[in-house]
């Protein structure tokens, strides 16, 4: 009996612990859910958006929801950020840290934040951009550093940010900027570089003119205390002629120092008399584009015309695609080892400006060359008529047919000429035929009235029951003395008697 008793006791103990196990399971699930969806009390949560702005925060609230993709910590008093504080937010795409009291960024601040696309550090107190400040932000596309106190940027501060296309450094204290290597920026991806309202005293024109056109279009240099120079004037004038937004959108803000006195600022495009003594631009300064034409379906080979053999070549297509050896994914565009670009079959999508980037130790500086490609469509491959034009053509044809029908219908007189008019017999024959006819006209009836004509009017013969004779109706003014008419009457009586069934009594 002992073994069954032991089994019963064990079963009883196991059943007693089952609710405790279930409670523990539910509590662990609740804890996981709490971590995933917990919203700090000082913040506002809306789906995957977390807003903690303007809360007078000195530290970042923890824990933060793991599902967060947008985090707003702007308008607080955060003095610094701890390394690895974003490791628990793998889905974070946008981080707002504007209007805080950040003085510096330590190494590892953005560790495990490779998914971040937009970082706003504007309106803080940053003084230096170091070598490792943005380490780990491999997916960053937009970086806002304007309205700080930045006076120094490390020569490789932005190295590793291969996808960065928009960098805002305006309203800082920069006195120099390297356009030779762009401090590690990728020239194939960069579209906006804002250096306006800084303390740049000079611009290395020879380095700037080698940049691709799409970088020049977004390179903002206005409102800097730059010394006036002929090369700088010719460069900006050329940018204005080409319609670059960096110049055309801020014409009045492009100023320079004329006499080495800070108060002697003049506007480039308003006070152009300052540059009247400037000679023609130096050779090679702002070279014009090379224009190439090709028909659809034809091959095209473009040589990168660098001044010396380069170690590395890269191309940027009109669709902003970075092309390197051996070419794009579908092999429609290939980059050769000598730097030339080969298009197998030109298509309308290939029309636009191709930019060649050449870099190497043999070159004094990195070079860029632009080639404007025009793809022409042969005449026989023109597009067919569209529906609207076809409808209009149909309406015109219909209108012409209607006009032809109205004004070119055959005349009725022509038909008459084709059919001869029957001759009308004399009056005597007409009278006789009317009498001899056994079939009356279809349009005449027994009750037909006499015409208003003053002469003889022959009515349809009316049969009467007097000896089977046919009696002619004579008008009131019938002339009985006319022998010719009497003769016709006598003849008709004799003819009628001849055809009558009743014998004539003499």
Structure tokens at 222: 């206005």
Structure tokens at 147: 């309205």
Q: Where are the beta strands (DSSP E) in 261-307?
A: 265-267, 290-295, 300-302
Q: Where are the alpha helices (DSSP H) in 352-474?
A: 387-407, 412-418, 427-436
Q: Tell me if 306 sits within 8 A of 358, measured CB to CB.
A: yes
**Residue 326, preceding peptide bond in cis (omega within 30° of 0):** yes
Pairwise CA distance, residues 385 & 104, whole Å: 65
Pairwise CA distance, residues 155 & 284, whole Å: 27
Which of 73, 189, 153, 154 is CA-nearest to residue 120? Answer: 73
Which of 182, 179, 239, 169 is CA-nearest to residue 203? Answer: 179
Structure tokens at 266: 């003049």
pLDDT at site 377 = 86
Q: Where are the alpha helices (DSSP H) in 292-411?
A: 387-407
Neighbours of 374 (CB within 10 A): 13
Structure tokens at 400: 């012409």
| β-bridge partners, 170 | none
For the chain, list the domains and their CATH numbers: 36-275 (3.80.10.10), 290-378 (2.60.40.10), 428-437+452-499 (no CATH)
Structure tokens at 97: 């840290």
DSSP state of 227: B
Pairwise CA distance, residues 97 & 242, whole Å: 37
Pairwise CA distance, residues 266 & 269, whole Å: 9
Structure tokens at 337: 């080892």
Pairwise CA distance, residues 217 & 193, whole Å: 9
**Residue 63, preceding peptide bond in cis (omega within 30° of 0):** yes
DSSP string, 200-226: -----HHHHTTS-HHHHHTEE--SS-P
- The HSE-up count of residue 16 (CA atoms within 13 Å, CB side) is 6
Which of 28, 85, 31 is CA-nearest to residue 62? Answer: 85
DSSP state of 125: -
Quickly tell me which residue has 């070159």 as its tokens: 363
pLDDT at site 458 = 41
Who's near 231: CB < 8 A, 6+ residues apart?
205, 206, 281, 282, 285
DSSP string, 160-205: T-TT--EEE--SS------TTTGGG--TTT--EEE--SS------H
Pairwise CA distance, residues 455 & 155, whole Å: 131
Q: Phi/psi at 368 (nearest 5 deg)? A: -130, 140
Q: Along the chain (506 residues), what's the average pLDDT of each consecutive run of 10 residues?
A: 52 50 46 60 92 94 92 96 91 97 92 93 96 92 97 93 95 94 88 96 90 90 91 89 89 86 77 75 64 89 76 84 85 87 90 83 67 83 62 88 78 54 48 42 44 44 45 46 46 46 46
Distances (CA, A) of 285 to 235, 288, 307, 328: 7, 9, 14, 32
Quickly tell me which residue has 């050769």 as its tokens: 336
Q: Phi/psi at 106 (nearest 5 deg)? A: -90, 165
Structure tokens at 351: 């029309």
pTM beyond 0.75: no
Number of H helices, E strands in the chain: 9, 23
Pairwise CA distance, residues 147 & 124, whole Å: 7
């Amino acid at each position: 009996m002992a073994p069954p008793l032991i089994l019963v006791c064990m079963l009883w103990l196991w059943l007693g612990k089952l609710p405790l196990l279930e409670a523990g399971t539910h509590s662990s699930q609740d804890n996981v859910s709490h971590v995933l969806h917990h919203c700090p009390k000082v913040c506002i949560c809306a789906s995957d958006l977390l807003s903690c702005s303007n809360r007078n925060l000195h530290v970042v609230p923890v824990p933060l929801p793991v599902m967060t993709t947008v985090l707003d910590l702007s308008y607080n008093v955060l003095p610094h950020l701890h390394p690895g504080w974003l490791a628990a937010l793998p889905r974070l795409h946008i981080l707002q840290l504007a209007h805080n009291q950040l003085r510096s960024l330590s190494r590892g601040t953005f560790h495990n934040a490779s998914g971040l696309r937009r970082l706003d550090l504007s309106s803080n107190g940053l003084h230096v951009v170091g070598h490792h400040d943005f380490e780990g932000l491999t997916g960053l596309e937009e970086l806002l550093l304007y309205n700080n106190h930045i006076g120094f940027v490390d020569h490789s501060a932005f190295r590793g940010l291969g996808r960065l296309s928009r960098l805002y450094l305006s309203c800082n204290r920069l006195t120099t900027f390297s356009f030779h290597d762009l401090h590690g920026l990728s020239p194939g991806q960069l579209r906006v570089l804002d250096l306006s309202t800084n303390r740049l005293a000079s611009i290395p024109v020879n380095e700037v003119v080698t940049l691709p056109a799409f970088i020049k279009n977004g390179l903002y240099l206005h409102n800097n205390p730059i010394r006036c120079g002929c090369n700088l004037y010719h460069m900006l004038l050329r940018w204005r002629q080409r319609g670059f937004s960096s110049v055309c959108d801020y014409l009045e803000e492009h100023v320079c120092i004329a006499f080495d006195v800070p108060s002697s600022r003049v506007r480039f495009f308003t006070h152009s008399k300052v540059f009247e003594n400037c000679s023609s631009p130096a050779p090679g300064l702002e070279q014009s584009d090379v224009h190439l034409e090709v028909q659809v379906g034809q091959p095209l080979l473009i040589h990168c015309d660098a001044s010396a053999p380069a170690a590395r070549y890269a191309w940027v297509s009109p669709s902003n695609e970075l092309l390197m050896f051996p070419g794009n994914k579908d092999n429609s565009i290939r980059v050769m080892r000598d730097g030339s670009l080969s298009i197998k079959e030109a298509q309308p999508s290939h029309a636009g400006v191709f930019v060649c980037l050449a870099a190497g130790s043999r070159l004094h500086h990195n070079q860029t060359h632009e080639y404007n490609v025009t793809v022409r469509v042969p005449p026989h491959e023109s597009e067919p008529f569209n529906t609207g034009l076809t409808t209009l053509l149909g309406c015109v044809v219909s209108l012409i047919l209607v006009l032809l029908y109205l004004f070119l219908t055959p005349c009725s007189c022509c038909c008459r000429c084709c059919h001869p008019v029957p001759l009308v017999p004399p009056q005597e024959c007409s009278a006789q035929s009317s009498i001899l006819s056994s079939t009356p006209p279809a349009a005449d009836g027994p009750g037909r009235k006499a015409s208003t004509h003053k002469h003889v009017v022959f009515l349809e013969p009316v049969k009467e029951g007097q000896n089977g004779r046919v009696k002619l109706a004579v008008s009131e003014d019938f002339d009985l003395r006319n022998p010719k008419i009497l003769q016709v009457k006598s003849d008709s009586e004799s003819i009628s008697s001849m055809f009558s069934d009743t014998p004539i009594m003499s």
